[in-house]
Amino acid sequence: MERAFFTFELRPGTEQEYQRRHDEIWPEMVEALTASGWSNYTLFRRGTTVYAYAECHPDRATATAAMGATDVNKRWQEWFTDIIARITDDDGELFWADEVWHLD
């Protein structure tokens, strides 16, 4: 298992809609995340910045690739284009943060 953390930015004024869409998350999205190796996935928001934490099985690269290959992920990403201002860098990578320390 690898812990993963990334950030992204919402378009100003879309914070409530972003929350609403997650309040009504698609069951097939949850199923795909779980099947792809994502667990303990948590989103936090401060203003327009979203902070995402997840535990990826067996590792981040494998879980990310598996999820990226699903149809539901493609549909979810398309549904959020009007809300998410920037989620990847110029190379198409999420804005990952490196783990420095962890306390169990």
Give catalytic residues, as residue numbers: 22
How many whole angstroms separate alpha carbon 98 and alpha carbon 4? 8
Do 21 and 80 form a contact (C-beta atoms < 8 A)? yes
3-class secondary-structure state, position 10 = strand
**Element housing 37 (H / E):** none
Q: What six digits make up the tokens of 47?
A: 């203003």
- Burial class of residue 14, CB neighbours in 10 A (0-12, 13-18, 19+): middle
